[in-house]
Amino acid sequence: MLVLRIITIAKLQGWRFYSQAEEEECEFDAEDFPQAPEKKVEDVIKAFPRLGSGKIVSKKQRRAGRVPSIVFEQENGHLGGNKVLISVETKQIERLLKKLGKSFFLSRTFDLEIYSDEGELESRERVLPRSIHLHAGTDKIMNVTFIRAPPTACLKVNVPLVFLGEDACPGIRKGGYVYTMERTVKYLCPADAIPPFIEVDLSMLDIGQKILLKDLKVGSNLQLLQNDGSFPVCKIMGSRGAAAAAAAAAAS
């Protein structure tokens, strides 16, 4: 299978793989909270037909300033269906990643315009970036995968979380910090109603309090794909200094 081949090559060559499935836990200081991207972001990705696949073809594409890419049918498109080999402009994808960040790039739909070598528009369709490969050593973009996102489709999307209200948060004012368990949350979304992000309001949280998945405010047309809505998204932890002092006292 083509996708398995790409993943195998990626592992051998030290690529880094980012997809809709990525999640991580971390701690945030107030100044480090993820910020929503600018509203004005280019909405059209320019692409070109790609004849053939493989290492030699991909190298030629990258030397020409293009990124080898694939457009699949919606979910599990790699198992068959209307697959199209394309390439996209490296500079444009780099620009989008710099402006949006990976999580926001992978949760936003774009119009994909495919042009002939003569510059004529051959096709135009709405797509959602599904995954992106970066070289482990250089962060160079190696591959991008898209899935079709017609208005009638429902897509599984990891929607980014944006944390707000840290300045007014009682727990942070007392010296606490925010421990995040989720940076994105997976929902089943109508393709024409994917939220750019979900706001998480911290302004009323004291030390020890948390926000759960079921507490997130989203539209009624979004379906949470995690069974346990009581799983925490974030929690206000006590001050690091107090925690360290308590640990030292317990050890002695």
pLDDT digit string, tens, across residues 217-234: 999 999 999 989 999 999
Same fold, 43-150 and 157-245: no
pLDDT confidence of residue 246: 47
pLDDT digit string, tens, across residues 138-184: 889 999 999 999 998 999 999 999 999 999 999 999 999 999 999 99
The length of the chain in residues reads 252
CATH 3.30.499.10 fits 157-245, yes or no: no
Mention every residue, 6+ apart, whose C-beta is less than 8 A from residue 164. Answer: 33, 199, 200, 201, 202, 203
Q: For 43-150, CATH number? A: 2.40.240.10
pLDDT confidence of residue 173: 93
pLDDT confidence of residue 104: 94
Determine if the pTM surpasses 0.75.
yes
Domain boundaries of the chain, sorted by first residue: 43-150, 157-245
Q: What is the pLDDT along the chain (252 residues), one digit of tens a residue?
A: 444 444 444 444 455 545 554 433 444 444 445 556 655 778 999 999 998 788 888 888 899 999 999 999 866 655 556 889 999 999 999 999 999 999 999 999 999 999 998 889 999 999 999 999 998 888 899 999 999 999 989 999 999 999 999 999 999 999 999 999 999 999 999 999 999 999 999 999 999 999 999 999 999 999 999 989 999 999 999 876 655 544 555 566
β pairing state of 154-164 and 66-72:
unpaired
Nearest to 20 by CA among 108, 136, 149: 108
8 Å CB contact between 185 and 159: yes
CA–CA distance from 244 to each of 206, 210, 234 (Å)? 20, 21, 21
8 Å CB contact between 209 and 236: yes
Residue bearing tokens 């051998």:
12
Bridge partners, 74 (sequence order): none
pLDDT confidence of residue 242: 52
Mean pLDDT across the chain: 83
pLDDT confidence of residue 31: 43
pLDDT confidence of residue 38: 58
For every residue of the chain, DSSP letters joined together read -HHHHHHHHHHHHTEEEEETT----EEE-GGG---PPPS----EEEEEE----SHHHHHHHHHTTEEEEEEE-TTTGGGSSS-EEEEEEHHHHHHHHHHH-HHHHTT--EEEEEE-TTS-EEEEEEEEEEEEEEETTT--EEEEEEEE--TT-EEEEEEEEEEE-GGG-HHHHTT-EEEES-SEEEEEEEGGG--S-EEEE-TT--TT-EEEGGGS---TT-EE--S-TTSEEEEEEPPHHHHHHHHHHHH-
pLDDT confidence of residue 37: 63
